[in-house]
Structure 1
Amino acid sequence: MPLFVSEETRWIETPHGRLFSQRWSPAGERAETAQPPIILFHDSLGCVALWRDFPEQLCQATGRIVVAYDRLGFGQSDAYPGDLPTRFIRDEAECFFPLLRQQWQIDRFVAFGHSVGGAMAATCAALYPHSCQSLITESAQAFVEDRTLNGIRIAKAQFEEPGQMERLHKYHGDKAAWVLSAWTETWLSKAFEPWTLESSAASIQCPLLALHGENDEYGSVLHPQRIATLGTASSRSVILKNRHHVPHREAPNEVLDVVKQHLESNAG
């Protein structure tokens, strides 16, 4: 029988603006006895709302608290002051993630990131090794690959077609143009070309699961294989057959089963 899940939202004050965050909790869950919560890091065009019902499903499947938030400039959070710097992945882990933990009083945690959110989750795991109990990446990039750049160029052209920007406006409001530019122009820039995940997450000390769709249009299977090498002997990559860049939307039960197994196998 599915667990009843309660929801709560909070605003997080930062020196640059407010962040929107939301928590899903299993009924009867007590903070002092709970397993470490799962923190979700969204993708380059994402936000809390675009996770749709996956956080609730994840909460039900694992019996853990799940927390997601809109990065500055995205979703319901305040606008980002200026252009996105090339060190934005490490900035997220160093500057904003600690404020999220403080607001929700999170000590130990599981980091779960989709796409570029996977790089942010990995960076948090590397920077806070005594607190991060497990790392899960989904469709994450480990370096700037031609397939990634080609996929971004195609998406950029598609957003120039009539009506396409309305999809972003629905979730990001008047920040939509900035959101698209922050993704496309940052990744396509020469300044970002040398980036690798190792530059901010050279070593992962916790159990690591790298999920990746076999047909991901934004990255080959070299990415999860490389991510797995950053972790301990228990780290592994799982290639999801016939899946693309958003497996948690394409095949949620498949993703939930693998994640649940990973967490149960590495509990403690």
Structure 2
Amino acid sequence: MSRTDFATIDWRGRPVRIECQWIDPERGAGTPLIVFLHEGLGSVAMWKDFPARVCEAAGARGLVFSRPAYGRSTPRAEDEIWDVDFMHRQAHEVLPALFTALKLGDEKPWLFGHSDGGSISLLYAARFPDKVEGLVVLAPHIFVEDKTVANIEIARTAYRTTDLPQKLGRYHDSADSAFWGWNRIWLHPPFRDWNIEAELGTIRCPVLAVQGIDDEYGTLAQIRDIAPRVAGICELLEIPECGHSPHRDQPDRVIVATASFITNNRRQTP
């Protein structure tokens, strides 16, 4: 069972409404809570039924939310331009504010992040190592690669010349808000130096890093460089016949791996 709510946080000097979907909250506080963080163009709706399937397999509760500018959350202000630290601000400011607004208290969630959401998950666990139970990150970015930028340039052309805005409009109150916030910062020349490798050393929780061998937005170095840097358990899963979205290309493989990882690494609540 799931339900959709909205939470309001204060961010960037204004109230921001955050779209949230709870999955199986009736399972109770003794079960793991998995928080799903979407990709650079994602939203609650774009996950479809995948979070519910993960929670069912893991015996967990779930929280799916749309970051500011995405889905049914408050769109970007017209003059709001994201800077190189935009993922840091999501991890260090938005996520803690959301957890406070939702009254999670001392509960330590599992973070399940895809692409930009994976990077944000890593940054949150690095800044707040005692506030997260574990991480599952799909196709995260820890530094910028040429192939990533090249494909984001292709996406810009598609947005300008195809029906991509209409397609994204099915999932976002403002497709322009979602697309240009993400696209402009990734193609901003100073962003080429963005790199979070040095920050990963403070992560102490278990980490499962997943990537498709055919990922068009990054090489396998993105997850292989995580393992030697984190302080705790880190397992890698490299999936053949899989691109940048393992949860869409190989959902069953990802669900089984996630449920097993959580079961094997969760701390039991008395």
TM-score by length of 1: 0.91
CA, structure 1 residues 10+177, in 2 after alignment: closer, same or farther (shift >3 Å)?
closer
Instruction: Tell me if 1:91 matches 2:89.
Output: yes
Residues 122-178 of structure 1 show CA distances to partners (whole Å, capped at 9, x for unaligned) of 1111111112111111011110001111111122222222322101112113x2123
**What is the number of equivalent residue pairs in this alignment?**
260
Specify the alignment match of 1:34 in structure 2.
Answer: 31
Q: Equivalent residue of 1:205, what SS?
A: coil
Matched-pair contact (CA < 8 Å) for 1:119–1:142: yes
Structure 1 residue 121 and structure 2 residue 117: aligned? no
- Separation (CA, whole Å) in 1 of partners of 2:91 and 2:8: 15
The answer to which of 38-47 and 193-202 deviates more is 193-202
Aligned partner of 1:23 in structure 2 is 22
* Contact 2:7–2:17 (8 Å) recurs in 1: yes
The amino acid that maps onto 2:148 is T
Q: SS at the partner of 1:193? A: helix
Q: Secondary structure at the match of 1:248?
A: helix
In the TM superposition, residue 8 of structure 1 has moved relative to its aligned partner by 4.2
**Distance in 2 between residues matched to 1:235 and 1:168, nearest whole Å:** 34
Distance 2:19 2:60 in 1: 20
State how far apart, in whole Å, the 2-side matches of 1:199 and 1:193 are: 16
1:205–1:253 distance in 2 versus 1, CA, 3 Å? same
Deviation at 1:225, TM superposition (A): 0.4
Letter in 2 for 1:140: P
Give the stretch that moved more between structures: 197-206 or 159-168.
197-206
Where 2:142 maps in the other structure, the secondary structure is: coil
Show structure 2 runs of 5+ residues with no match. none
Structure 1 alignment gaps of length 5 or more: none
TM-score (norm 2): 0.91
| Contact 1:139 1:211 (8 Å CA) reproduced | yes
Q: Give the Cα–Cα distance (whole angstroms) in 2 for the partners of residues 244 and 229 of structure 1.
A: 24
Q: Identity of counterpart residues, as a percentage? A: 28
Residue equivalent to 1:239: 238
Residue matched to 2:204: 205
1:142-157 map, 5 Å: 142-157=142-157
Q: Which residue of 2 aligns with 1:250?
A: 249
3-state SS of paired residue (1:132) = coil
Q: 1:61 matched to which residue of 2?
A: 57
CA distance in 2 between partners of 1:66 and 1:228 (Å): 26
Aligned AA (1:38): I
Q: Are the equivalent residues in 2 in contact too, given 1:208–1:232 (CA < 8 A)?
A: no
Partner residue of 1:45 out of 31, 41, 46:
41
